Amino acid sequence: MTGPQVSFLPDGRRLHLNHGPIDLIVEAFGAPEARDLAYRLAAERFGGLLADLVAELPRLRSSERHDFCGPVARRMASAIDPFRADFVTPMAAVAGAVADEICATIVRSADLRRLYVNNGGDIALFLAPGETMRAAIAAGTGLSDRVEIAHAEPVRGIATSGWRGRSWSLGIADSVTVLAANAAAADVAATLIANAVDLPGHPAVRREPADRHDPDSDLGARLVTVDVGALSVAERAAALDRGAARARTMIDRGLISGAALYLGGDIRLCGAVRPLIDQDQTPDTTPEREPAYG
């Protein structure tokens, strides 16, 4: 594996940080000197981040409680604590926790108006008073939608999960996007809500053990979704209703602000999710590639 790669995207505005499975896009908004400082801080913090995670990886893949040394590992463990009634490991929060760590490192020292750190679709945000930010979210099957977040709202993290994403899912959602107080919490919640969008035992859903595809998966031999065939309108509704019920429970507990659930062109919106209608508005957090989700 090569070392950390740091470069600007062709637009010259967004910093690209890549090391192994971590792929970040960072964009800072503010005075030129503040932006320069933000990108320097991001690159410096990124340097040893993956090595720190690898050092604690066996325990991060366990659902048992552990004490962790690294700040990102501690963020991951803290994020799953409210959800331990389910099977969940700190790895469910890894992408969001990395984004949160880079975002927090920057805003401690750089005087910015806005900032986002996008880790493959899991996004950590900073907004100064009076500021807003638009974000592209995956709507499944290659489509995208958009939401707008204002400083006055408690949302500083966005994350998306689903069986079509880069991580394994126990459910059949094309995608589930969650808004929460930070990206790590959103990451865990999106994973669990996507797992809940399901039709257990349905013949159109093909599942295989996770460790058949990834021997190191924290899911072990649990069955993950590898294909979803044709479903009726009623079946899609039933699956989405299961996920929406889970999302509303999390909203009632104050764990998330809202969620958007997508399956086969159908959608459920829960809580504080207001997709933008005007397609002429360009999202601030649009990645260089199509919206990703994990």
pLDDT single digits (tens) 145-190: 788 899 999 999 999 999 987 788 999 999 999 999 999 999 999 9
- Give the tens place of pLDDT for each residue, 82-114: 999 888 999 999 999 999 999 999 999 999 999
This prediction's pTM: 0.90
Mapping DSSP to helix (H, G, I), strand (E, B) and coil, where does residue 291 land?
coil
> Is the pLDDT reported for residue 204 higher than 50?
yes
**Dihedral pair phi/psi, residue 11, rounded to 5°:** -75, -10
d(CA 243, CA 177): 12
* pLDDT tens per residue, range 29-53: 999 999 999 999 999 999 999 999 9
Contact 226, 199 (CB under 8 A): no
Distance CA(185)–CA(80), nearest Å, equals 7
Over residues 256-289, the pLDDT tens digits come to 999 999 999 999 999 987 655 444 456 677 544 4
Number of Cβ atoms within 10 Å of the Cβ of 132: 13
Return d(Cα 37, Cα 41) in angstroms, integer: 6
CB 159 within 8 A of CB 130: no
Which residue do the tokens 């509303």 mark?
A: 248
Is residue 135 very low, low, confident or very high in pLDDT (cuts 50, 70, 90)?
confident
Q: What are the residue boundaries of the structural domains of the chain, listed by start?
A: 5-271
CATH architecture of 5-271: Roll (3.10)
Who has greater pLDDT, 140 or 50?
Answer: 50
How many other C-beta atoms lie within 10 A of the C-beta of residue 288? 11
Residue 142 has pLDDT above 60, yes or no: no
With a cut of 90, say whether residue 136 has pLDDT above it: no
Q: What are phi and psi of 141, to 5 degrees?
A: 50, 40
Q: Are 77 and 89 a contacting pair, CB within 8 Å?
A: no
Nearest-5° angle of CA 105, CA 111, CA 116? 55
Q: Are 90 and 79 in contact (CB under 8 A)?
A: yes
Q: Which of 166, 161, 198, 164 is nearest to 177 (CA)?
A: 161
Give 258's DSSP letter: E
